[in-house]
Every structure is written in C-alpha cells, then in structure tokens.
Amino acid sequence: MIEVKSISKEFISPKKYPGLKGAVKGLFSTEKVKKLAVDDISFSIADGEIVGYIGSNGAGKSTTIKMMTGILRPTRGECLIDGINPATDRMANAARIGVVFGQRTQLWWDLPLSESYTILKEIYNVSDEDYKKQLAFLNETLGLEEFFDKTVRTLSLGQRMRADLGAALIHNPKVLYLDEPTIGLDLVVKDKIREAIHEINQKYKTTVILTTHDIEDIEKLCSRIIVIDKGRKIYDGTLADLKETYGTTRKISIKTEDFPGIGKVRAALSSSLNNGNKEPVGDNELELNFNPDESRLEISFDKNHVEVSDVISSLIRIITVKDIKIQETELASIVKDIYNHNLGANGPEGGGR
Amino acid sequence: MIRHFMHTYLPFASNELKRNLAYKGAFYLFIVCDLMEVFISYYLWMAIYQSSGKGTLGGLSKNEMVVYVIMVFITSTIIMQSISRTVSRDVVKGNIAMTLIKPVDYRISLISGQVGNLIYHFIVPSLFVWIFLEVYKVTVLGEPLVSPGRAALYLISICLSFLIYVLFDFCFGMVAFFTTYIFGLSMAKEVLLSFLTGRLIPISFFPEAFRKVFEYLPFESMVYSPVMIYLGKYSVRETLFVIGRQAAWVIILYLLGSFIWKKVTNRLIVLGG
Amino acid sequence: MKRIKRYLRLYRVLVSQFIKTIMQSKVDFFIGLLGFFMTQAAGIAFLYLVFEQIPDLHGWSFSQLLFIYGFAQIPRGIDHLFTDNIWLVAWWMVIDGDFDRYLLRPMNLFFQVISEKLQPDALGELLVGTILICVSASNGILTIDAVHILLFLVSVIAGAFIYTSIKLFFSTIAFWVKSSGPFLQVAYNMAEFAKYPTEIYGKAIRFLITWVIPFGFVAYLPAGYFIGQHSALSTIGVECVIAVVFFVIAYRFFIYGSKCYESAGN
C-alpha cells in the first residue's frame, strides 16, 4: 500500500544572530544554514496496518507525513501511496487519503458542522448514497449528532477532534494520516477516538499512520511502530519486539518485615547468585532501593544477564517475603530513553522487517 | 524620577527597534511604496504647474511644491508610527485586562515602543532623503539651504506632531471596542488623515470655509504645520502660535485618551472581559 | 467540460457558504464599503481641487480624467471582489503553514485560493467606478454603441485579469521568502500611477507601468479608445494579449512555487 523509498528532506534558511548587534549583522549577512530534517528513510506498510510513527519533537515525524501526504516534496527519494506518487500527482493522491492534524482544523470555522460536511461531500465527489451510509457509520462511531448543527467555532476540543476525524473519513479514504490525534484531550474522549480509529480500520481495512506522544495511543492501536530520531529511522518493528529488544529491565518489588539493611542484602544476594555461575554478576548490575515507609525493597536488573527466578529464590532465603511484584519496563520509559538518545545510537536497526 | 521612567520604558523602544531590524526586508519595501507616492505627486504637480501657466498655486511656487512634497513624505514617515493596530488587537483579544495588572502604563509603554521606530525612521530613510533634498535644492533648483534656526524649529514641531499622532491613534485603536473590522476602519482613517493633514494636497488649496473648519481639528498640526514652518511660510509670531497650538493638542488628546481608557477599562472590569 | 461543470458547482457551494458567514457581520460590511468608497472619493476630491487651479492637464479635461479614474476602478473592483484571498497567501498562509490545507484537497490550487473568499469591500470601488462612468456618459464624452459596450466588457475583464496576474505573481514569491506581502504591496501600489495619464511621468516610469507591471493597460490606455482617441486594436487588443500572457506566466509561476512550499514548523 505504502512504499517509502529512501526519502530525504533538506531545509535551507538564512542564518540568524542573537541580540541587537546580531540584528544589525543580519542586515548584511547572506549566510545560509542547511538542515536535514529527514535523512534517507525507507519503509513499506501493508494494507490495513495501523502504524505508530514516533520520535521526539523535531525528529522529522511531521516532515515525513507531509511528504507522504503531498504537502512537501522530498529533496531525494520518493514515496508511492497505493501506486501514486503524491509529489507528481497531488490531486489523485489527495482524493484517496484522509488527514487529521491535531493542532489544526480543516473544517470551516464559522459554519455549522453539517455544512462543512456538505462542502466536503462536494469536494470529494461522494455520491448521495455513499454519503448517507458513511455519515450513519460516523454518527455511530463518533457520536456526531450531539453537535452536528453547532458552529465549528463553538465546539469543545474533544468534539472538534471527533468532527475532524469524521471529516477526514467522509470519502472513505484508503489511507488515514493522524498527526497527534489525541493531543490535549481528556481520557474519555481519547478512548472514544481510539475506538473509532480501531473500528474504521476493522471495517474498511483502512491503513492508518499516526504520530503521537501518547504511549497509550500506541499500546492500544498500533501493531507496528517506526521510531525516528534526528531524521533517521532507528527502529521499525512490532511493539512486542521493541519491548523485547529495549525493555529488558525487570524490577522486583518485595514487601518485607525484618530488613537487615541494603549492604547486607546486596552481599548475600551477590554471593548467592554467583555461586556456581560462570559469569559473575557485578555489583552495578543490581540496583537496590529500600523504602522504609512501606518497608518495601526494590531490585532492578537486566533480565538477559540475571535470571528473574534466581533472584527470587535467592531473596527468599535472605529475607522474609510478605508480598512480591515483578514489573516489566513500561513502553513509556523505553520511548523516553529513545527520546533522550540513550538507546538510539547503539540499538539494533529494524527489528521486524 | 526621570531615571526610573527611562529605565522602565527604554526597553520598549529598543525592543521595537530590534523587531524592525529583523524585518528589514519588509521595511525597505514599504519605503519603496511610500517613495512611489512621492514620485506620483512630484510628476503630477510638475504637470499641473506646467498646465496652469501660473508661477504659484495655492501660495506655493513650483520649487516650493517640490520641497513640500518631499518634506511631507519625510514628516509622515517619521511621525506616523501607528499603535492603533496593537491597541485594537489587545482590545479584541481581551489582553487589555492583562495590561491592568502590569506595573507600567499601557499607553506610555506603547508610545515608548514607537519612539524606537521614530528614531529608526528618522535615520532610514528620512535623513538620507532630507540630505538629498537640500543638495537638490542648492544644485538643481538654485535655492538656498534651509537655515539652522528653521530646521531646529521644524524638529521641535515634528516631536509634537509625533505625540499628536500617537495620542490620536491610541483613541482610534480604542474604537475596536465597538467593531471588529479594524482593517476597513483603518482604511477610512488613512484617507481622512491623508486629506486633512495636507499629505495629499496642501491645505491652502482648500476653499476658505474648509480651512476655517480644519483650524479647529488636530490633523493640520500633524504634517501641514511643521512643513510650512520648514518652508518659512510663517512669521516668528505665527510659528510660535502654531507650535503652541500643537502643544495644546498634545494635552487635549492626552486627556481624551485617558478618559476613553478609563471608560473602556471600567466596562471591562464590570463585564469581566 | 465535465471538469468545468464540477468546478462551477464547487464554486457555487463554496461561495454561498462564505456569503452566509459574512451576512452575520453587517457592521463590518458597511465599514469596509465605507473605507474603500472614501478612498476613491478622496481621489476625486483631489482632482477637483487641482482643476480649480488649472483648465486642463496635458490637454486632458477634468471630465476625461474623471472617466479614466472611474474606469480604472471597475477592473480593480472586480479583481478585488473575486481574488482578495491572494493577499492572505502572500502575507500569512505560507508562513503560518495554512497553505497545507489546499495541498491536501483534490482540487486545483488556484481555484481553492480564489473560491475561499469574496471581498464585499470591493463594492465600494465598483460603486464609485459605475457612478463616474454614468456621469461621463451623460457628459457626452463617450461613444456609446453596441461595439463600444461589448469592448467595454472585454476590456474590464482583461483588466481584472491583469490585476489578478500581478497579485498572483508577487504572492507566489512567498513560497521562497515566506511572506511576500510587502513585495505585493509595492507591485499593487504601482496601480496608483495608472490613475493619471501616463505621459506626465518620466520615460522609465512610463516603460515600467506599460510593459513590466502593465497597469497602464488596465485603465489609461483603453480609456483612450472609449474617449475616441485611439483604435480598438492598439488599446483593447494589446490589453487582451497582455492579460493572457501575464496570466499564463503568473499561473505557471504559482504552480511551480507551490512545489517549493516548505510548510511551517521548520
């Protein structure tokens, strides 16, 4: 469905200097700054996939989406959306896609929502019959009738987002691009939007590409994610694989009564774990914390180096365990690490494909 | 006291100056726009003098008309630093309420900002055009240089012109309280000003009855009066009277602005907007 | 043919929606109308005051100059009424990234720009123009027959196209410089030259407004035909050719520019 073939986008802007002196200097300067916003990115997406496209602010997410939707033309490379190159055949591409930019509405601000929909029906040349059917479906999934006759300007953010999503779907597009579709919404509306996206994907096999900072969007919707950083693709694969590759930290949390002190536990634990182990576990591979208020001991470690079962069986012998909890790394913290460039540089490229 | 005042309001002026330098491209192009108007009036007046067969029209000789056209450009470029757009935007967007809690006077901070603009416009392009005019006067028109005394009186007069203009413009910006379509209104304001200040045509071309009315309006004091001072059309006594009248307008418009400001902000507090 | 029909239908839908929204603000409408009406009226008052002092200007009488003045307002008003949105492209749409919206819809870009808005302020100009032409007709300085009326319509439409082309061309610069409002303002203001007979200007200016930014062909030159001084071919004929050539250039340039659009946020 979507073929992105090593696209790059370069922006050129005049150099700016700070301060009043700088402003005067700028008068005479013609220096230019080049910025590579997207650097040689390739991927392909199959029919009916929901793909999360994530990365920190300024990583090049929006630039990529804009190239795929035909707003920007790639400096190098090309993309084919259902066989159409948006850079050369903008209108044909525009007729088959739906786009929602969370920060911006494509509705007519001063008109009732119903009128915006009527105009879009004309623009996309939707037949009366199809329009009726689609509107009924959108009403059902997005609950549009609550505010269908209200002026767009007067809609709440949540209503407006639902209205915008509906507007992007009137012509039943093959591909739906969502740029931060849940930004600034409350939890109930977020859920509703996610459900709607899911339903549309199920019903029409619509391919969905969404950028987001909200981890829950990804966890609830995306079977696959692509992570980019500084314009380059650094991960492309399933969510499970991402967790498997990056999320190897485990945290064991134990409620205990007679706590002998961190030092003692650490010493006992190390000797127990290293007993008969060929690769000894270093002190810095185990992170111990004790919270005296809850009398709770927390131990973090990499599960690829230390077996979870070993740690537990050792601990049972050292302290009295009243309650035990094992936590996986949350996706949120994996993503946070990627954003902070802790993982990106040395992480393996392309888990899945 | 004065030091404190400068300390508070000087940053407004320097910020405005910086902003201007950042948009230098647009700035130069607007100068081109205004210069085009000068060209049109110049050629038009030359044609008019040629067709009339008379030496003087409206009390101005052909050479004086050249000086008039250029000095009108210089004067309006320097003094017409509009604040009404900012005022109306703040009124429409409800930022006015925010300005009430700041420890600076809203109107004075806006005017200080425009002082920055005034300085900038005084140098680019006005000073250059002014020097050009004097050189042109001596070499091509064969007229003497302007006397230093007259130039000084002109400079004093345009300082007052500036204050009259911004104080008037402040009142005008407050009109935004009653309509949201400032563009159309600004357009009407521009036209009225170009007519009543003498920018389009010297006031002396108007019929006697109109001129009597104009004497009781502040517009003549913005452009026409300083240019006439520059041209040496007034006696010493008349000059003092004209400058005194300008000062009076500054005070009247200041008080009027305060009055409107109080009305508007009172209403804001009552309405909670 | 089918495409033209579709676009006409779309235009009707889009514009009728827009009219519904402006009907909500009658005060604004009258203020805008007043603003433009006053601007034109001031120009006329200026001419009147000048002609108090002189019998004629380079052989042109007051009533002839009034005709040129009024005639110039009609193409200007038509362009202003239908394509005012081009100004927004020049000033804001590119720099704010609002142009994205047009690129996402399966419609011609130029069509989208002009169908988004009608500018009722233009009625101020059209009103002044019409009044002045009626006055001129009753003064008996115009030849009135079927051919002249037909060519009048042709000339007015061609003139409007020249205005639109110049606006489109200079707003397109925004795709590279982000906001081309000042450029457009300079070019548009050149039209002020065309309110008076071009022979009063120096050679360079005359060349500029005849062939580079051809506002001379919008009013003053075709007006010569209606007053009975020049042939139709040398005035309205050339005007039409210029209108077509300039529009094609401007349109091509606009489409090319849209491909260099960089959106916002970078």
CATH code of A185's domain: 3.40.50.300
Interface A-B, measured as beta-carbon pairs within 8 A, has a size of: 14
pLDDT single digits (tens) A147-173: 999 999 899 999 999 999 999 999 999
A230 and A257 together in one domain:
no
A237 and A262 together in one domain:
no
Interface B-C, measured as beta-carbon pairs within 8 A, has a size of: 105
A113 and A231 together in one domain:
yes
Which candidate from B14, B17, B21 shows the least CB-CB separation from A27?
B21
CA dist list (Å): B191 to B45, B69, C38, C45, C132: 20, 17, 7, 12, 19
Task: Determine the pLDDT at residue B120.
Answer: 87
Chain A residues touching chain B at CB-CB below 8 Å: 19-20, 23-24, 26-27
Final residue of a domain: which of A193, A227, A244? A244
Verify whether the Cβ–Cβ distance B205 to C39 is below 8 Å.
Answer: no
Q: Is the pLDDT of residue A278 over 70?
A: no
A299 and A221 together in one domain:
no
Verify whether the Cβ–Cβ distance A23 to B22 is below 8 Å.
Answer: yes
Query: pLDDT tens per residue, chain B (273 residues)?
Result: 777 777 788 888 877 777 776 667 777 888 888 888 899 999 999 999 999 888 899 999 999 999 999 999 999 999 999 898 888 878 777 777 777 777 888 899 899 989 988 988 898 889 999 999 999 999 999 889 999 999 999 999 999 999 999 999 999 988 766 776 777 788 889 889 999 999 999 999 999 999 999 999 999 999 999 999 999 999 999 999 999 999 999 999 999 999 998 888 887 766 554
pLDDT single digits (tens) A208-242: 999 988 888 888 899 899 988 889 998 899 888 88
Contact residues on chain B for A26, CB-CB shorter than 8 A:
21-22, 24
Concatenated DSSP letters for chain B? -HHHHHHHHHHHHHHHHHHHHHTHHHHHHHHHHHHHHHHHHHHHHHHHHHHH--SEETTEEHHHHHHHHHHHHHHHHHH----HHHHHHHHHHTTHHHHHTSSS-HHHHHHHHHHHHHHHHIIIIIIHHHHHHHHHIIIII-PPPPPHHHHHHHHHHHHHHHHHHHHHHHHHHHGGGT-S-HHHHHHHHHHHHHHHTTSSS-GGGS-HHHHHHHTTSSSTTTTHHHHHHHHT-S-HHHHHHHHHHHHHHHHHHHHHHHHHHHHHHHHHHHHT-
Chain C touched by B55 (CB under 8 Å): no
Q: Which domain holds residue C135?
A: 2-258
- Which residues face A208 on adjacent strands? A50, A176
Average pLDDT of span A255-271: 81
Task: Determine the pLDDT at residue B272.
Answer: 53
Task: Enter the pTM of the model.
Answer: 0.84
Final residue of a domain: which of A220, A244, A268? A244
Verify whether the Cβ–Cβ distance C55 to B51 is below 8 Å.
Answer: yes
* pLDDT category of residue A342 using cuts at 50, 70 and 90: low
Verify whether the Cβ–Cβ distance C106 to A69 is below 8 Å.
Answer: no
Task: Determine the pLDDT at residue A346.
Answer: 41
Verify whether the Cβ–Cβ distance A26 to B22 is below 8 Å.
Answer: yes
Task: Determine the pLDDT at residue A37.
Answer: 92
Residue A257 inside a domain? The answer is: yes
Contact residues on chain C for B43, CB-CB shorter than 8 A:
200-202, 205
pLDDT single digits (tens) A128-144: 999 999 999 999 999 99
A237 and A293 together in one domain:
no
Chain C touched by B58 (CB under 8 Å): yes
Best of C189, C198, C207 to substitute, by most chain B Cβ atoms within 10 angstroms, is C189
Verify whether the Cβ–Cβ distance C186 to B36 is below 8 Å.
Answer: yes
Residues A40 and A233: their CA atoms lie apart, in Å, by 8
Contact residues on chain C for A123, CB-CB shorter than 8 A:
10, 105-107
Residue C266 inside a domain? The answer is: no
Share of chain A above pLDDT 70, in %: 89
A212 and A279 together in one domain:
no
Residue C142 inside a domain? The answer is: yes
Q: Which residue of A has its CA nearest to B24?
A: A27
Residue C263 inside a domain? The answer is: no
Chain C touched by B32 (CB under 8 Å): yes
Task: Determine the pLDDT at residue A352.
Answer: 34
Task: Determine the pLDDT at residue C51.
Answer: 92
Which candidate from A87, A92, A99 shows the least CB-CB separation from C104?
A99
Residue A12 inside a domain? The answer is: yes
* pLDDT category of residue A26 using cuts at 50, 70 and 90: low
Neighbour count for residue A230 (Cβ, 10 Å): 16
Evaluate whether C226 touches C71 at the Cβ level (below 8 Å). yes
Residue A273 inside a domain? The answer is: yes
A150 and A213 together in one domain:
yes
- Residue spans of the domains in chain B: they are 2-271
Kindly report the CATH number assigned to the domain that includes residue A275.
Answer: 3.30.70.2860
- Which residues face B61 on adjacent strands? B56
Chains touching chain B through at least 3 C-beta pairs below 8 angstroms are A, C
Residue A254 inside a domain? The answer is: yes
Final residue of a domain: which of A222, A244, A266? A244
Residue C246 inside a domain? The answer is: yes
Contact residues on chain C for B58, CB-CB shorter than 8 A:
53
Verify whether the Cβ–Cβ distance B40 to C196 is below 8 Å.
Answer: yes
Task: Determine the pLDDT at residue A351.
Answer: 36
Q: Which residue of A has its CA nearest to C108?
A: A91
Contact residues on chain A for B17, CB-CB shorter than 8 A:
20
Contact residues on chain A for B11, CB-CB shorter than 8 A:
none
Contact residues on chain A for C262, CB-CB shorter than 8 A:
11, 72
pLDDT single digits (tens) C28-42: 788 888 888 888 889
pLDDT single digits (tens) A167-195: 999 999 999 999 988 888 888 889 999 99
Total of domains in chain A: 2
Evaluate whether C266 touches C94 at the Cβ level (below 8 Å). no
Mean pLDDT of all residues in chain A?
A: 85
* pLDDT category of residue A287 using cuts at 50, 70 and 90: confident
Task: Determine the pLDDT at residue A28.
Answer: 63
Chain C touched by B235 (CB under 8 Å): no
Best of B15, B17, B18 to substitute, by most chain A Cβ atoms within 10 angstroms, is B18
Q: Which residue of A has its CA nearest to B15?
A: A20
Residue C178 inside a domain? The answer is: yes
Q: Which domain holds residue A276?
A: 248-328
Verify whether the Cβ–Cβ distance A20 to B21 is below 8 Å.
Answer: yes
Residue C264 inside a domain? The answer is: no
Evaluate whether B178 touches B171 at the Cβ level (below 8 Å). no
Task: Determine the pLDDT at residue C33.
Answer: 84
Average pLDDT of span C93-117: 93
Q: Which residue has the higher pLDDT, A81 or A103?
A: A81
A283 and A150 together in one domain:
no
Q: Which residue of B has its CA nearest to C40?
A: B191
Best of C22, C30, C37, C50 to substitute, by most chain B Cβ atoms within 10 angstroms, is C50
Mean pLDDT of all residues in chain C?
A: 90
Query: By 3-state DSSP, what share of chain A in percent is helix, strand and coil, each rounded to 5?
Result: 40, 25, 35
Task: Determine the pLDDT at residue A144.
Answer: 92
How many helices (H) does chain A have, and how many strands (E)?
Answer: 12, 13
Which candidate from A35, A71, A118 shows the least CB-CB separation from C104?
A71
Task: Determine the pLDDT at residue B271.
Answer: 59
Residue A340 inside a domain? The answer is: no
Contact residues on chain C for A66, CB-CB shorter than 8 A:
100, 263
3 state SS of C62: helix
A189 and A226 together in one domain:
yes
pLDDT single digits (tens) C167-204: 999 999 999 988 899 899 999 999 988 888 888 998 99
Interface A-C, measured as beta-carbon pairs within 8 A, has a size of: 63
Residue C265 inside a domain? The answer is: no
* pLDDT category of residue A9 using cuts at 50, 70 and 90: very high
Q: In Å, how far from its chain's centre is CA A165?
A: 18
Contact residues on chain A for B21, CB-CB shorter than 8 A:
20, 23-24, 26-27
Total of domains in chain C: 1
